[in-house]
Amino acid sequence: MTLYASVRHGLAVTGGRAVLGVVRWRDTFRRPRAHPHLAPPLRSGVRLKELIARHYLKGRTASSAVPVAWVTSGAPVEPLVALGYHVHYPENHGAICGIRRVAEDLCTAAESAGWSRDLCSYARTDLGVVLTGRTPVGRLPRPDLLVCCTNICQTVLGWYQVLAERFGVPMALVDTPFLYGTAPPHALTYVERQIEVLVEAAERAAGRTLDPGRLHAVTRRSKDACTLWREVVDRARHRPSPITAFDTFVHMAPIVEMRGEACTVDYYAALLEELDGRVARGEGALLEEQVRLAWDNLPIWPRMRWLSDRLAARGAALVASPYARAWGELADLIDPERPVASAARVYLHPILNLGIGQRLAALRALARDCQVDGVLLHSDRSCRPWSSGQADIRDRLVREDKIPALLLEADHSDPRAFSEAQASARIDAFLEGLGA
Amino acid sequence: MLPVHHPRALWRAHGYLPVEVWGPPGTDATPAGAHLQPFLCSIPRCGLAFHLAGGLRDVDVVVVPHACDALQGLGSILTDLPPRPLPALTPYLPRATGEVAVAFLAAEIATLSTRLAEGSQRGPTADDLLAAALDEEAADAAFRALLDARPRISLSNAAFYEAVRSREYLPPAEFRAVAEVALAATGPVDGIPVLLSGIVPEPAGLLACLDRHGVRVVADDTACVGRRRYAPGTSTEPFRRMAEALGSGPPDTTRGSPLSERVAYVVALAAQTGARAALLAIPGSCDPELFALPVLRQALEAAGVRTLHLETDLSMPFTAQADTRVEALLESLP
Ligand code: SF4
Ligand code: SF4
């Protein structure tokens, strides 16, 4: 860390904060464009935009000013936040690239360098960013440490090993055995020991010692934010639903990349209040909610608006998704009094680390609680762990639960794996079957 | 047994006959399409199709070790929503290293042992388990000797791999006998020395192609063969000993070995054996291999070893196009 970099970072963050505050103030008074089928966007979206912009702005000047870690989305991040790291999430950045429609170019750059088109498009996007330096957020900070947790997939391990090679920085691995039920004691011990090693590696890379009081506070904030987030997604149980799954895909950004920060807790408290206002007034996210749907797997980032409009035009409200809910489900397991031991349990149990029997159970519970009329399963060619087993899940939903379900082939970021004509025809036929 | 690493001694101590299924090659994977998307590699799709066609009807238990996201998916389907009932075991292979990984794996093997003993009158004693571990270690020693001697063994590629891969189903003593015969087949050797990497030397047409073109595989770095050169364990506690052995193999993508270690190992292997080219036979969509591929190729090329990436599909025969590409590689060698 250098003095020059720290001063520059401090000035950039303070100045940026002021500018973004003005932008938020301006946007607050801007009248949103009316949509023929959707309610006006959530007002909290303005604050969300500011939070995300602030996060990436901080990242621009973070190198050499504060320690920087690149981490997988399901990594135990609390010790890093407590140590003052700037934490960058390549998957979230990949989603931004998908939404801004630059993922294809970045994927192509990675493919030209030899990485197969069969690999996850988040990984290809990120490798493309590293190779070309191109990003829609201006500039990314160089990592001092990589943290790879396998609780979402093994794909991240191959990906982060390439990053470790490329950047020549240490990679801390938190390997989480795949579970069929709750974690056995030896799996908990295995993960807890690795988190202890992660803390040591993070302390070394940062040149600081972890303050237990700070870790307690950060873990408490993670728990509060996860609890609030669960409340947010659960508001979709109301009819009409005040929030769509599309909203949750966007509003989940802070719970993923700003977990453990005070602004995240405040943000979700405000969002919840806004949703409760909608519920009290009987307002839905759709002007006219005729049928309710659930979504399985990641969103199709580049086509989210298209899909949202298409569904809304027919009165179909996409109200729930296990993907977005995952961040709230583990709130009860987080124990600030035992931050490392409880982190082992928490980070072993995200839905992607559980067998498909549990994924089916989660989808069933969501379908019941949110009273959905049908399920759209995104067969995401990039995400093998989430997509494997979807055909059987669909089959059980249709046969045993009598819930109509449709498998939709696409990719969460790479638009080349999506056929609009085919998807339109399938969605329209499905909605017709539901009477929408 | 599906790929890759599993404690052979454990199954044998419990009286099971472990037989590995790498595909199997040549299986029509279409029936698996109702359960697994075509964007998964051919190994789980062929494995499931084989099961659906009744290929595992005489099997008591199927073991799907956790090697990758694709096998995780297959293991999960067979455990949670089996399209055809068959008990499944899904041991997790730690990607961490050191004592924490050995302790985890030993406990994982102990858990498997308890499951195997459930329902039977009496499971193996600690002495039975240790004896089985020692038997397997002796077979592993023969396996290593066979691989080390490959540059001097006069067998064709197809015959050599038939011998070395009989480790996938033969009991340890019988495998040692096969290895002894193969080891005795020394004589004048010729052919262009190459290193074979990837997951499995399949489809069979691959080895036939190499034999036809006068290529000699002098070094093996496939997950199926060369990356299972296990060293003996040291503990007298049987589960721990099995875990030590399983974690001792060369760097392997399916064990999450650091890329730098893996690249250094493969480059050194090519240098030691005088391989002039490296064939990387990787099933399409194999994430663990495909991440490492560009870095590995670059390092090999920098070391003067020409590389060829062959995308394989175990449900299909080796193609004429792939044959031509091998031929072109050989012609390009200085
Ligand atoms: S494979 Fe799936 S879980 Fe893994 S990084 Fe890609 S999208 Fe995320
Ligand atoms: S070929 Fe690769 S992806 Fe397929 S089962 Fe083997 S390790 Fe997994």
Residue A184's Cβ-side half-sphere holds a number of Cα atoms within 13 Å equal to: 16
**Helix, strand or coil for residue A267?**
helix
Judged by CB atoms closer than 8 Å, whether chains meet at B291 and A150 is answered as: no
Q: How far is residue B283's CA from residue A58's CA, in Å, rounded to a whole number?
A: 42
- Residue in this structure with the two tokens 């405000």, named with its chain if needed: A270
Interface A-B: count of C-beta contacts within 8 A: 161
Residue A157's Cβ-side half-sphere holds a number of Cα atoms within 13 Å equal to: 27
Judged by CB atoms closer than 8 Å, whether chains meet at A379 and B107 is answered as: no
Lowest mean pLDDT, pick from B32-41, B174-183, B186-195: B186-195
For residue B244, the CA-to-ligand 2 centroid distance in Å is 23
Q: Could you say which of B34, B256, B288 has the minimum Cβ distance to residue A391?
A: B34
Residue B74 is assigned to a structural domain of this protein: yes
Residue A35 is assigned to a structural domain of this protein: no
Question: Whose Cα sits closest to atom 1 in ligand 2?
Answer: B286
Residue A419 is assigned to a structural domain of this protein: yes
Residue B187: pLDDT band by 50, 70, 90 thresholds? confident
b or e along A258-267 (b: 16 or more beta carbons within 10 Å of the residue's beta carbon)? Answer: bbbbebbbbb
Judged by CB atoms closer than 8 Å, whether chains meet at A180 and B79 is answered as: yes
The pLDDT assigned to A8 comes to 83
**Average pLDDT of chain B to the nearest whole number:** 96
Question: B40 lies in which domain range?
Answer: 8-120
> Does any CB of chain A come closer than 8 Å to the CB of residue B274?
no
Minimum CA–CA partner of B34 in chain A: A391
Q: Could you say which of B100, B260, B292 has the minimum Cβ distance to residue A158?
A: B292
Alpha-carbon separation of residue A164 from A143, A147, A398 (angstroms): 9, 10, 44
Q: How far is residue B324's CA from residue B330's CA, in Å, rounded to a whole number?
A: 10
Residue A382 is assigned to a structural domain of this protein: yes
Minimum CA–CA partner of A188 in chain B: B104
Q: Which two tokens stand for residue B226?
A: 């060369």
Residue B110 is assigned to a structural domain of this protein: yes
pLDDT digits (tens, 9 = 90+) for A61-97: 999 899 999 999 999 999 999 999 999 999 999 999 9
Q: What is the mean pLDDT of residues B139-166?
A: 97
Q: Could you say which of A157, A190, A389 has the minimum Cβ distance to residue B100?
A: A190
Report the domain count for chain A.
Answer: 1
Residue A181: pLDDT band by 50, 70, 90 thresholds? confident
Ligand number, closest to the Cα atom of A154? 1
Ligand number, closest to the Cα atom of B283? 2
User: In this prediction, what percent of chain A has a pLDDT beyond 70?
Assistant: 100
Q: How far is residue B20's CA from residue A146's CA, in Å, rounded to a whole number?
A: 36
Judged by CB atoms closer than 8 Å, whether chains meet at A190 and B36 is answered as: no
- Residue in this structure with the two tokens 């608006």, named with its chain if needed: A305
Whether A24 has a pLDDT exceeding 80, the answer reads no
Question: CATH number, domain at A370?
Answer: 3.40.50.11900
Count of residues making up chain A: 436
Question: Whose Cα sits closest to atom 1 in ligand 1?
Answer: A383
Contact A269, A381 (CB under 8 A): no
**Helix, strand or coil for residue A406?**
strand
> Does any CB of chain A come closer than 8 Å to the CB of residue B96?
yes
Q: How far is residue A171's CA from residue A168's CA, in Å, rounded to a whole number?
A: 9
The pLDDT assigned to B334 comes to 87
The pLDDT assigned to B163 comes to 98
Q: Which helix (H) or strand (E) holds A204?
A: helix A185-206
For residue A386, the CA-to-ligand 2 centroid distance in Å is 16
Q: How far is residue A34's CA from residue A39's CA, in Å, rounded to a whole number?
A: 8
Q: What is the mean pLDDT of residues B290-306?
A: 98
Q: Given the cut 0.85, state whether the ipTM is greater than it.
A: yes
- Note the maximum CA span of chain A: 64
Q: Which two tokens stand for residue A10?
A: 């401090």
pLDDT digits (tens, 9 = 90+) for A110-132: 999 999 999 999 999 999 999 99
Residue B129 is assigned to a structural domain of this protein: no
Is the omega angle on the peptide bond into residue B24 within 30 degrees of 0, that is, cis?
A: yes
State which ligand 1 atom lies nearest to the alpha carbon of B69. 1
pLDDT digits (tens, 9 = 90+) for A219-269: 999 999 999 999 999 999 999 999 999 999 999 999 999 999 999 999 999
For residue A142, the CA-to-ligand 1 centroid distance in Å is 22
Q: Which amino acid is at B230?
A: Y
Give every CB contact of residue B127 below 8 A, 6+ residues apart in sequence.
none
Residue A206 is assigned to a structural domain of this protein: yes
Q: Which of A146, A190, A296 has the highest number of chain B CBs within 10 A, making it the mutation to test binding with B?
A: A190
**Ligand 2 binding pocket includes B288 (Cβ within 6 Å):** yes
Residue B284 is assigned to a structural domain of this protein: no
| Nearest in space to B276 (alpha carbons), one of B218, B223, B324 | B218
Whether B119 has a pLDDT exceeding 70, the answer reads no
Report the domain count for chain B.
Answer: 1
Judged by CB atoms closer than 8 Å, whether chains meet at B73 and A381 is answered as: no
Does this model's pTM top 0.95? My answer is yes
The pLDDT assigned to A17 comes to 81
Whether A47 has a pLDDT exceeding 80, the answer reads yes
Q: How far is residue B284's CA from residue A233's CA, in Å, rounded to a whole number?
A: 38
Question: CATH number, domain at B70?
Answer: 3.40.50.11890
Residues of B in contact with A184 (CB under 8 A): 107, 111
For residue A383, the CA-to-ligand 1 centroid distance in Å is 5
> Does any CB of chain A come closer than 8 Å to the CB of residue B291?
yes
pLDDT digits (tens, 9 = 90+) for A350-405: 999 999 999 999 999 999 999 999 999 999 999 999 999 999 999 999 999 999 99
Judged by CB atoms closer than 8 Å, whether chains meet at A173 and B95 is answered as: yes
Distance from the A2 Cα atom to the nearest Cα atom in chain B, whole angstroms: 30
Q: Concatenate the DSSP letters of all residues of B127-162 into one string.
A: HHHHHHHHHHHHHHHHHHHHHHHGGGB-S-HHHHHH
**Average pLDDT of chain A to the nearest whole number:** 96
Residue A304: pLDDT band by 50, 70, 90 thresholds? very high
Dihedral sign, CA of B41, B43, B48, B50? positive
Chain B (295-314) residues lying within 8 Å, Cβ to Cβ, of chain A: 295, 297-298
> Does any CB of chain A come closer than 8 Å to the CB of residue B115?
no
Residue A22 is assigned to a structural domain of this protein: no
**Helix, strand or coil for residue B297?**
helix
The pLDDT assigned to A20 comes to 78
Whether A51 has a pLDDT exceeding 80, the answer reads yes
| Nearest in space to B108 (alpha carbons), one of A186, A171, A367 | A186
Residue A135's Cβ-side half-sphere holds a number of Cα atoms within 13 Å equal to: 21
Question: A188 lies in which domain range?
Answer: 67-434
Q: Could you say which of B36, B80, B291 has the minimum Cβ distance to residue A161?
A: B291
Phi and psi of A181, rounded to 5°?
115, -155
Q: Which two tokens stand for residue B247?
A: 């974690």
b or e along A172-203 (b: 16 or more beta carbons within 10 Å of the residue's beta carbon)? Answer: bbbbbbbbeeebbebbbbbbbbbbebbbebbe
Q: Which two tokens stand for residue A138?
A: 């201006």
Judged by CB atoms closer than 8 Å, whether chains meet at B295 and A162 is answered as: yes
